[in-house]
Amino acid sequence: MAISARIPSTLEANKFIPAIFSKNVLVALKNKLVVVPLVNHSYEKELVKGNVLYIAQSNVTEATEVVAGNEGTSGNVFDTAAITLTIDQWWERNVTIDTMSTRQSHVDLKKYAEDEVAYAISKKIDSTVCTLFSALNGGTVKGTDGSAWTATVMRDCVEILDKNDIDEDNRVWVGNPSVRTDILGIDLFTRSDYFAGEAIPTGQFRKNIYGAPLYITNNLAANPAVGAVGAYGCYMHRDALAISIGDDFKPLVVEQPLKHQIIVHGEALWGVIELRDKGGVAIYTRSK
């Protein structure tokens, strides 16, 4: 039912009834940025200048049986090629606003532009890390594209890292919203009588699953295979992947008075690399 007309009808047309514009802008919905903090950042402080960082790595050797009267053989623990971390990602985002609008708008246009520029760069960095998931574990991906995560698939992933002697601390699960739904449907993780303590009566899954927290993001890399419907999630240790980001990027406001406009500019330089192939395993998700 339409609202009643005004009397006289000219009240609204001649602006006797004001239209109020909110100062609170409904900002764009943003994907959660969760993956970057989960990987190794320890090399950032070393890559102050230059674009390539060589990371030397040792290797294991086997003990030999002692034979009395004989000198033991010497092993080489430095027989593994260095890992090369290259800063090869350079991305930017600009937002242009005319100076008349900045003066007349009832909201801080520059502030919202700065927020959106920073988010665009952050999302790209997060997505770049996610593209490395599918190459972990020699490129062998667990599960089936388009199928739900199951307790069996997740236990298989735990076993893979255990057999690879990967430290149990700092392991994480990374999935997308379809994975959250899958986990909530696994009775093992939602029944309150499964746990000896800290029962969760709300039906929400525990913070840790097989000793590792689950993080949900919308930035996973999609499975590029023809007809594929899922993406690549992951179970990994912090040292499976590494990232080095240049100087902290902050949006820069460039004034162009002769053009009567300002440009809110943001850019970032970074590089990502697989550190330990055996430190993680990709898992197909049910949907993208």
pLDDT tens per residue across span 246-284: 765 667 888 899 999 989 888 888 889 999 999 999 999
Q: How many CA atoms lie within 13 A of 274 on its CB side?
A: 18
* Close Cβ partners of 200 (under 8 Å, ≥ 6 residues apart): 190, 192, 206
Give the confidence band of 223 by pLDDT, cuts at 50, 70, 90.
very high
Q: Which of 100, 111, 94, 96 has its CA nearest to residue 24?
A: 111
CATH class in words for 36-60+78-284: alpha beta
How far apart, in whole angstroms, are the C-alpha atoms of residue 109 and residue 285? Answer: 39
**Residue 56: how many other CB atoms lie within 10 Å:** 9
How far apart, in whole angstroms, are the C-alpha atoms of residue 269 and residue 284? Answer: 30
pLDDT tens per residue across span 24-49: 555 555 555 688 889 988 877 766 66
For residues 283 and 153, the answer to whether their CB atoms sit within 8 Å is yes
Q: Which of 43, 15, 108, 21 has its CA nearest to residue 272?
A: 43
This prediction has a pTM of 0.82
For residues 241 and 275, the answer to whether their CB atoms sit within 8 Å is yes
User: Which backbone phi and psi does 132 adopt, to 5 degrees?
Assistant: -85, -15
Give the confidence band of 200 by pLDDT, cuts at 50, 70, 90.
very low
How far apart, in whole angstroms, are the C-alpha atoms of residue 129 and residue 219? Answer: 9
Q: Which of 47, 51, 130, 125 has its CA nearest to residue 91?
A: 125
